Every structure is written in C-alpha cells, then in structure tokens.
Amino acid sequence: MQRTSDQASDTKRWGAGALVFAALAMVGGMSNAYVISLLTIVLLFTFLGQSWNLMLGIGGQLSIGHALFVGIGAYAVAILNIKYGVTPWIGLLLGAVIAGFVGAVLAWLSFRFEVRGIYFALLTIAAAEFARIMFGGWDYVGGMQGLFYQAPSGTMDLGMLRGDARFYYFVALALAAIGVAGTELISRSYWGYVWRAMRDDDEAARALGVRTFRHKVLVVSISAATAAIGGGVLGLVQGAIFPDSIMGMAISVDVLIGPVVGGLGTAFGPLVGSMAAIPLHHAMGALGDSLGLPGLNSVAYGAVLILVVWFLPDGIWPAIVRLYGAIQLPARGRISQLRKAEE
Amino acid sequence: MTALLEVKNLTKAFVGLVAVNDVSFSLQAGRITALIGPNGAGKTTCFNLVAGALRPTAGQVLFEGCLLEREPPEAVCRMGIARTFQIVRPMKDMSVLENAMVGAFSWTTNVKEARDKAYESLENVGLAGKANARTDQLTLPDRKMLEMAKALSTRPKLLLLDEVMAGLRPTEAAGVVGVLHRLAESGLTILLVEHVMRIVMEVASTVVVLHHGAKIAEGKPSEVVADPAVLESYLGAGFHA
C-alpha cells in the first residue's frame, strides 16, 4: 500500500522535473542575449550546487573550498585545449579524474586523522587557497594573467564544445538536468541511503554496519569530480580563466549559495536557489554600479542568506513543497497545516 | 549447548577507574541473557566492549569462536552482532522505513531487497503501519522499537540491547517483552543490559550481575535474586531477605 504511494509521488516528481526543464529549453529558443547568458550561469551553478549538495546535503561533509575542484576542472580543460588543441571532452574527463583523486586524498588524510566537521571545512578552504596561490605563481599556466580561449567563431562544434551563447545555454541546461536527475537517483540508491545515514548519525550508522570512513572519502571524491566538470564548462563559457576568479573564495561561496538558499539535500533546491540568488546578485550589481554603490550585490547576497536562514532554515524548495501540500488539503485543514509548516 | 559469544577475563580500565574487572560469561545460542547491576556497575562499558565501540584493556571476546580484537563497530556488525543505543538515535531526516533499511545495506546493495527486509523488521516489532512516518512523529516506545528494527535489518545472530525498557510504562514494557520472546523463539540470541529487575525476571533465562565492575553472580533469575551478594549490592550491606 505504502509502496504504491511512493511510486505515485515518484512519477509526480519526475514529471514536474521534466516540465521545468522543457520550459527552460523553450526559454533558450526565444529570449534575448542577456537573459540567456544570465540563465547559463544560473544553470551552471545549479550543477555545481548539486555537486556541493551531494557532499553536504546527502553525505554530511561540509566544504567551503569547492573552488579547488572547480579550478582543477577549468584548468584541465583550458591547458589541454589552449596549449595542445585537445577537445574539452578529454579535458573534462581528465579534470574530473584529477579532482576526484585530489578530493579523495584530502578526505582520506583528513578523516584518517580525525579532522572532521568544521575543521575539515577549514582544511578545504586552505587547500583551495593553496591551489589558487600555486596556480597564480605558475608561469606554465599563465600565472595571475590566466589563460584565454580563442574567441568562438560562432559556428557550433559539439566535438570541440565551441559555439555561441545559445549553444552554451543548452550545454548548461543539460548539465543542470543531469545534476537534478542524478541527485534524485543517487539519493534513492544504496549510496544515498548509506550517505544519509552517516550524515544524520555517524556512530549509529557504523553500528548498523556502514563503513563510514570509505563512504565519506567516496562522497567527497564524487563531489569533487562533478565540480570539476562544472568548472571545465564554466571556464569555456567565460572564455578565460584566472586563478583569482576560478579558484577564489567567491566561487566557493557561489557554489554553496544555491543549495543553501534553495534547500539542502533536495534535488530541486540548488536549481531554485540559483534561480533566486544569482539574478538578484547580478541585478544588485547593476543597480550598485548605476547608483555608485559598489558592493551592493554582496550586501544583497548577505541579506538573502540571513533572511533564508532566519525564516526558511530548510531553504525555499522544502517550503514550497509544504505550501503545496497544504493547498491540496480540504479548506478546513489548510490553516492549521500552514501553521504547522511555519513552525 | 554451544556458546555463541564468550567473554573471557574482560577488563577495561579508564584513567583512575577500573570500569570492568576480570569479567567472564558466555551467551548460549537462542537464549536471552541479561546483564544487570546497580548504577555504575560497568554494564554499559561491558556492552560497548562486546559491540566493538570500546577496546578492552585486557581479556578477550570470542564470537562463534573467533576473537574480536580491534574490530571497529561496523565490522562487528557485519560479523552478526547488532546493537541498540541506550539513548535512541533515529536518523532524523529519514523516514521510519528508510531508517530500517540502513541496516540491510550491511549485507546487500540492492535497494528493493533492503526495503523488503526493512518491512520485515518493522513488522517484527509492530511498526509496519508507521513505515512512512517521520521519526519525530514516533512516541518513545515506538522509537525504541525502531532502534530494534534497525538492528534486526542487519540480520544479526546476536542482538545487544542497551536498556530498551528504560523510560517505558509497564504496559509498554510488556509489549517489548512479547517482542523479545518472539525473537528468541525464532533463534536469535539476545544480550540485554537492563535496570528494571521485574522485566529481567520475565524474559531472561540467565542473569549476569555486575557490581563495581566485577561479576558477583550468574545464574537463573530466581537464583540470582536470592543471592546475598546481589541483595547487598542493590540494597546495601546488612540487608537480609
């Protein structure tokens, strides 16, 4: 009996997801260049947010240094493509492998010596900053001057992942869809159950036979590898990469803002959160420029974070789900249910 | 009769305190054994030593003839020893069913198999009707039962229960007693750490009494409660029944 209701809500979730992405695909066909480029960034950070979400929202491991993995992916693609003319597909794969390895080593060393929780998070910042400074001083990869892709010729080339803004919009859309569907699939797989168990209570999970050490290393490694794929595409979209921008703290923050605002550990949260936060960030940036108030966008970011943490600590998406559930009830139960949802 | 678990001269010393001192006992397969004693007797320490959560200072724990030595808790679980915690620890962001599924992933990676096993475990403890509930919607007795269901999903040969009855009303405890009897009949071996004497008398076939870390008595419940050393440890010197 319960199993059928599970399946019904499964169909609903997948149906809703398909509709959302179909709508986004249609947007890609008609809108103006500014909207397209903004949404491309939103969708890329949806994918990156999913990678981060996998690690904290499902695996329970906090990273504030995801820029490390984003940067590794971006540099892997750029070095191979710009210096050797190798297709970005290979670069994406190689970047993912390297980042996955770096993530696994970082996690292994850290958890092996009982560096956990917030201390692990500090270690991720340190590792990202170390890499940023190292790349900045490394002449082979252009140092602080960075690396530049050739200007796109305008013709679409799927093999070399080059094309116009619209082409990258659809690449980002595909990644975001993979991110949302992948999160959904993983959280309901063997890994998902085991990871959520260790996220909720490490000791209790171990008592139930979960080898939490290896699963923590695994989740960090997979998260790092997927972040590198997002980073590789981000570099292509931006057309140039610099250590300060692609491996800086700002990227680490941008990556986590989507899932935190949208809803940690949920499949749709990072999409909803990125949709809400990134356009606001850009709009406030533009407003700040015209008013002569630089930094207005960062203030807006901070304000949104505080408001969300204060009023919707689970994030926006779970609040929408609760509201929807309440509307479906008969009118009489609605108010009390809404109140309950508020609590 | 074969001993499923043998504890030999087990000792655990913390700084300035010997919590468990040279304790030996064995658990017979398919039986319910209770570990009792006054507060601070070393029951939970002893329990944690068997579960692999603590390492003994001296002595051995043998499970099915194999020495348990430096095995982490997850390995102990995979060998067939499942435990519950004194304070209930549901995975709070997972449903009741999902909680019960986690244990099954110690022997399968198939989600459907794990789900079937979880339903079976929940049925065993009478929680199947609440499979889709959130754990914070459960009453305390239900949460205690969920702890047992989680442990049962690991397909244990030996179930270690740390004060499952603590904080339960007599009628609720009676329900737990029924569940324990059924599990023992199905062949499961159970070690119970318990404070509530009345319940121990009802369920255990053997009782081991600890006092100040040392074993002071072992035997059938009726023999143990008549033992002067046991009475003295619970009620103070000079008391005679």
How many domains does chain A divide into? Answer: 1
Ordered by start, the domain boundaries in chain B are 1-75+158-164+188-241, 81-155
Question: What is the spatial distance between Cα B155 and Cα B171, in angstroms, rounded to a whole number?
Answer: 28
**Closest Cα of chain B to A192: distance in Å?**
10
Question: If DSSP codes are grouped into helix, strand and coil, which group holds residue B25?
Answer: strand
All residues of chain B having their beta carbon less than 8 Å from the beta carbon of residue A186 are none
For residues A37 and A21, what is the distance between their CA atoms, to the nearest angstrom?
Answer: 17
Evaluate if residue A11 carries a pLDDT over 70: yes
- Given a contact cutoff of 8 angstroms between Cβ atoms, the answer to whether A224 and A95 are in contact is no
A204 in contact with B, Cβ within 8 Å: yes
pTM of the model: 0.89
User: Which element (helix H / strand E) includes B215?
Assistant: strand B214-219
Coil/strand/helix, residue B160: strand
- The CA-atom distances, in angstroms, between A177 and each of A156, A182, A230, B12 are 21, 8, 13, 55
Does residue B131 sit at the A interface (CB-CB below 8 Å)?
A: yes
Is position A206 within any domain? yes
What is the distance between the alpha carbons of residues A140 and B151, in angstroms, rounded to a whole number? 56
Neighbours of A184 (CB within 10 A): 19
Check CB contact under 8 Å for A197 and B107.
Answer: no
Closest chain B CA to residue A194: B102
In terms of C-beta density within 10 A (0-12 exposed, 13-18 middle, 19 or more buried), how is residue B197 classed? middle
Look at residues B154, B138, B152 and name the one whose alpha carbon lies nearest to residue B180: B152
Question: pLDDT digits over B175-219, tens only?
Answer: 888 899 999 999 999 999 987 777 788 889 999 998 888 888 888
Query: Does A197 lie at the interface with B, CB-CB under 8 angstroms?
Result: yes
**Tens of pLDDT, residues A244-263:** 999 999 999 999 999 999 99
B84 token code pair: 């519950």
Domain that holds residue A272: 2-311
| Domain assignment of residue A318, yes or no | no
**CATH number of the domain that A183 lies in?**
1.10.3470
pLDDT of A233: 96
Superfamily of domain B1-75+158-164+188-241: P-loop containing nucleotide triphosphate hydrolases (3.40.50.300)
Give the pLDDT confidence of B113-172 residue by residue, as tens digits. 999 999 999 999 999 999 999 998 999 889 999 999 999 999 999 999 988 888 888 888
So what's the pLDDT on residue B67?
86
Q: What is the ipTM of this complex?
A: 0.88
Is A334 a member of any domain?
Answer: no
Max Cα–Cα distance, chain B, nearest Å: 60
Residue A211 located in a structural domain:
yes
Query: How big is chain B by its Cα radius of gyration, in Å?
Result: 18
Binned at pLDDT 50, 70 and 90, residue A179 comes out as very high
| Tens-digit pLDDT profile for residues B130-145 | 999 999 899 988 999 9
Q: Does A205 touch chain B (CB under 8 A)?
A: yes
With tokens 């890609």, the residue in question is A28
* A316: in domain: no
- A328 is a domain residue: no
Residue type, A126: A
B 139-198 near A (Cβ less than 8 A): 150-151, 153-154
So what's the pLDDT on residue A76?
Answer: 97
Q: Is A267 inside any structural domain? A: yes
- B160 φ/ψ angles, rounded to the nearest 5 degrees: -105, 120
Q: Is A323 among the domain residues?
A: no
